[in-house]
């Protein structure tokens, strides 16, 4: 146990248990003399060491602080990992743009093994070509001026052909 810790423990003992006062006082005095002796011997040893001058020690401290500081990089200098990442992202963007420009993004692959969705879309597009002319002949529905169209109580009625036409037109 260090001398400082010993004096702290003995001081607490003197304050909290007065029955051991005599022995604790003797131990406390011995710990204080031990602390002074050790600190004096340490100072003697450090004075004999070469390079233990205060100026040299201060220079060492400054050097340690400088080595522990994070190095700041110049903003104009790009490291290989930064340039690699930027080039990688640029190539990804170009691939996506090429994919969109070629029109492949419009070709949605049917996840169903029986091509259920593709068949349904073909049927709807075939039905809409025949009902497309009838859907366009209808007069567009207008909301009345009483604004009842904004409530959920009454809703405008659409024919199945109009709904199918809207679905196929939306993609």
Rounded percentage of the chain residues whose pLDDT exceeds 90: 1
Domain-embedded: residue 159: no
Domain-embedded: residue 155: no
- Whose tokens are 């604790």? That residue is 24
Q: In this model, does residue 136 exceed pLDDT 60?
A: no
Q: In this model, does residue 165 exceed pLDDT 70?
A: yes
108-140 as b/e, with b when 16 or more CB fall inside 10 Å?
A: eeeeeeeeeeeeebeebeeebeebbeebeeeee
Q: Kindly report the average pLDDT of the chain as a whole number.
A: 74
Q: Which residues have a Cβ under 8 Å from the Cβ of 132 and sit 6 or more positions away?
A: 165
Domain-embedded: residue 88: yes
Q: How confident is the model at residue 113 (pLDDT cuts 50, 70, 90)?
A: confident
Q: In this model, does residue 111 exceed pLDDT 80?
A: no
Distance CA 148, CA 141 (A): 14
Determine the straight-line distance between the first and last CA of the chain, rounded to whole angstroms: 81
Domain count within the chain: 2
Q: In this model, does residue 121 exceed pLDDT 60?
A: yes
Domain-embedded: residue 96: yes
Q: In this model, does residue 132 exceed pLDDT 70?
A: no
Domain-embedded: residue 66: no
What value does the mean pLDDT take over residues 91-102? Answer: 84
Q: How confident is the model at residue 146 (pLDDT cuts 50, 70, 90)?
A: low
What value does the mean pLDDT take over residues 96-113? Answer: 78
pTM for the model: 0.25
Domain-embedded: residue 117: yes
Domain-embedded: residue 134: no
Domain-embedded: residue 170: no
Degrees, nearest 5: CA angle 54-59-60: 95
pLDDT, position 144: 56
156 vs 76 pLDDT, higher one: 156
Q: In this model, does residue 30 exceed pLDDT 70?
A: yes
Domain region containing 115 = 80-124
What value does the mean pLDDT take over residues 18-43? Answer: 81
């Amino acid at each position: 146990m260090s001398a400082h810790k010993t004096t702290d423990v003995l001081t607490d003992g003197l304050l909290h248990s007065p029955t051991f006062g005599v022995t604790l006082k003797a131990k406390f005095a011995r710990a204080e003399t031990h602390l002074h002796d050790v600190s004096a011997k340490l100072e003697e040893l450090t004075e004999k060491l070469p390079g233990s001058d205060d100026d040299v020690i201060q220079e060492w401290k400054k050097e340690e602080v400088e080595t522990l500081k994070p190095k700041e990089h110049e903003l104009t200098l790009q490291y290989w990992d930064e340039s690699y990442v930027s080039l990688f992202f640029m190539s990804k963007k170009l691939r996506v743009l090429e994919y969109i420009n070629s029109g492949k993004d419009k070709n949605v692959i049917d996840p169903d093994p029986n091509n259920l969705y593709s068949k349904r879309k073909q049927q709807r597009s075939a039905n809409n070509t025949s009902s497309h002319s009838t859907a366009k002949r209808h007069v567009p529905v207008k909301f009345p001026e009483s604004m009842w169209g904004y409530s959920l109580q009454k809703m405008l009625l659409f024919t199945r052909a109009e709904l199918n036409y809207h679905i196929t037109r939306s993609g």
